[in-house]
Every structure is written in C-alpha cells, then in structure tokens.
Structure 1
Amino acid sequence: MISEKDKVRAKKICIHEAGHLITSKLFGFKTNGISILINQRIGHSGEATIILPVANITNNNELIGYLEKRIQILYAGVIAEFTDLNKNFDDSSALIDWKNGGGMVDYAKIRELTHVLRNIKYPKTSEENKQQLELDKLDKVNFANSVQIVFENIREIHRIGKLLSDKVLQYDITYNLTEGELL
C-alpha cells in the first residue's frame, strides 16, 4: 500500500501530467491519456502521451507556431502542479522544481526549444547580450501564455489529475488514465 506522503506526491504528479495533456488538447495535438508509476525508493515517472504533428510543418511560420505550442505545453506541467483551484501559483516552488526536481527535463527542453525559436525569429542577431534579451522576451511571453491556459483550465486539470491519482494504490505499478476515461 502506498504511504500518505507518496499519495500526496502522486496527486501533484498527476496534476502535472494533466496540465501537459489539457494544454496539448487545446492546441489541437492528439493525445493518448496519462500515466504514473511511484517507486518507494527511487522516485516516480509520469507521462502525458502526446502525438506531435511534426510532419505538417512546411514553413517557418508553422515551425514558429509549433515551437511556441511545445514550449507552452512543457511549461504547463509544473505550472499546473503548483497552482491550486483558486489560481494561486507557488512560483518559488515551481522554480525549485524546474531547477532540481521533476520539472528539470521539461525545463531543459524549454530552454533548447526557446533557443531554436530565437534563432528562427531573429536569425541576424549575433551580439550575445541582444540574443539573451530576445531569449528572455520569448521565454516571458510563452511562460505567460502557458500560465493563462493553465489558469483558465485549472478545474479540469485538477479533475483529471485526481481521477488518475485516485487509482494509485501501490508502488511499482503503472496506473493509466485512457482517453475514454477523461470524459
């Protein structure tokens, strides 16, 4: 049986994955549910299965739109995890999670995709200080857009996160919430 402490952790992870899932759906990406596995000693793994439409990217404007959506989807997980139903966002805990916690992988992808996005939008900028300003601007806009999406959908995100976390009863078992169960 899973401990109470790990049950609380599982719920946060499920909300995190639901944030990715809902944001993906709003952007028109196909999804295939979410899953979680809690291990008592080594941590957890969670996943929102998102089918990325990369074959449809045929020009720079479509690539820019795709990169912005992916960045916002990646941000949505931690934002959802640290936002309560009253839309209170614990930004200091979120920052810690992006730097040292479960959101590290998402944040590494965010940084990489933001660099690619900057290179496409501002290909002629060569001065390092100006590049950093452009990166900061893109990051700020995508973060703010993701916050808005999560806030507008926080009840549904928490509902889906709870549906999955209520299934988590034991360690070392992968629990899934299928597309059919999301309704």
Structure 2
Amino acid sequence: MKTREDYENEEREEFMRLVLPVARHEVGHWLMAERQGFIPQDIEITIIDYQGSHSAGAVVNLACSLTSIAGVQDYLRRRIQILYSGAIAEALDDCNQVNNDRAIYLWKFGNAENDRKAADDLLQLLRSVTYELPTSDAEMQQQLDTIVSELWSSAIEFTQQEHAAIGALANAIAKRVTSLGKCYVYSAEEIRQQLEAADWPKRPRKS
C-alpha cells in the first residue's frame, strides 16, 4: 500500500515534469546569450496551472554599440540564435542530442510564440542588410531560408555542446519551483556560481 510520502513524491515528480521543460528553455536562452557576448541576468519562472501554463523569461542586457552595417549584421545573427536556443534546448533528448523535428515543432507550435515573432522581425531586417532587394517572393524566401538554416544549425551545435550545463542548471532551477502561482527567481549570480562549481569550460565569448 502506498504511503502518504509515496503520493507526495509522485505529485512532486509530476510537477517537475511540468517545470523542467520551462527551465531548460530559459537556460538555453541564458547560456547562448552569455556565449554571444551579451549579459544575461536572472531567470524567472511562474507555473500557473497543472496543464503547463506558465510565465517565464531569461532577462538579457542587450546594450551594445552599432556603428556599421557589419556590426548590425553581427548583432542580429547573435540575437536570433539566442531566440532559437530556448526551443532547441527544450528538445534535447536522453542522449544529449537535439531532436530537430521536436525543436521545430516547439518553435512553431509550442511555447516559443514570442521568440518566434521577435526572430521573424529580426530575420527580415538581417536579410535586408545582407542581400540586394529581391526580384521575387521566391528569391526573398530563399534568402531567408539560407539565413535560418545557418543560424538554426549553429544554435543546435551550441546546445549539444553545452548539454551538461543546460541539464544541470535546469534541474537546479526546477527543484526550486514548488508551487503554482508564485514567481521563482534564479539569479545570474547563482547561475554563474553553479557554472564555476561545475567547472564550465571558459570558452571565449563572442563579441
């Protein structure tokens, strides 16, 4: 016969299954922002109901100086990869590989709506400062597809490379979230301390 503790453990495991994908998504944004030379700050998560509704975000300081077209192009490329990395990190499988079909599904139909809208706008701007004016809709789409393919693949490569850090941070954050309706904050300082404790590789930041 199950004890009260058994039922409580099952309930907690079920709740963790709701929280973990959200935490993994936000950690994906955070780590990519760090690697791309921006300054990521706190991660905030609120689980609203047991159907998985939530409010969450990884706050990132995006301030920089843009004094040339090349600088604008570089900024947009880095920014778009940050947006991609949430859904992609959420799609890491048990073998620490990104399930690309799953990532695309999450990007199009999951909880990445705000990321997707922002990325679509930035992609159009990046296309405009990278290519000449297209002569047809088909040419414009080909230009966009070329950019998307490169940046999506780069974000997948980064996510798989950093799977250990993503998993460890997501688990640590998810364990803190224990009830509905409360905003839980995992500070940038805590994240960096955990990365240092885990001897996260100090790969050079992009700038």
Q: State the TM-score, normalizing by the size of structure 1.
A: 0.92
Percent of matched pairs sharing the same residue: 24
| Stretches (4+) displaced over 4 A | none
* Distance in structure 2 (CA, Å) of the matches to 1:165 and 1:40: 15
> Looking at both structures, which has the greater relative contact order when contacts are Cα pairs under 8 Å and sequence separation is at least 6?
1
Residue 47 of structure 1 is aligned with which of 54, 57, 67?
57
Superposed CA deviations along residues 99-146 of structure 1, whole A, max 9, x for unmatched, are 222012212222221111001101332321111111000000000111
Which of 77-86 and 165-174 deviates more?
Answer: 77-86
SS of the residue corresponding to residue 176 of structure 2 reads coil
Structure 1 counterpart of 2:40, one-letter code: T
- Which residue number in structure 1 is paired with residue 126 of structure 2? 117
Instruction: Please give the residue correspondences for 1:11-160 in structure 2 after superposition, counting only pairs within 5 Å.
Output: 11-40=20-49, 43-54=53-64, 56-84=65-93, 86-160=95-169
Shift of residue 163, structure 1, vs aligned partner: 1.1
Q: Between Structure 1 and Structure 2, whose CA radius of gyration is higher?
A: 2
Contact persistence 1:85–1:158 (CA under 8 A): no
Pair 1:34–1:85, CA change in 2 (3 A): farther
Q: Is the 8 A contact 1:97 1:104 kept in 2?
A: no
**RMSD across aligned C-alpha pairs, in angstroms?**
1.7
TM-score of the pair, normalised by structure 2: 0.82
Q: Which runs of 5+ in 1 are unaligned?
A: none
Q: Is the 8 A contact 2:98 2:160 kept in 1?
A: no
Structure 2: segments with no counterpart, 5+ residues: 1-7, 194-207
Contact 1:85–1:155 under 8 Å retained in 2: no
Greater Cα shift, 73-82 or 4-13: 4-13
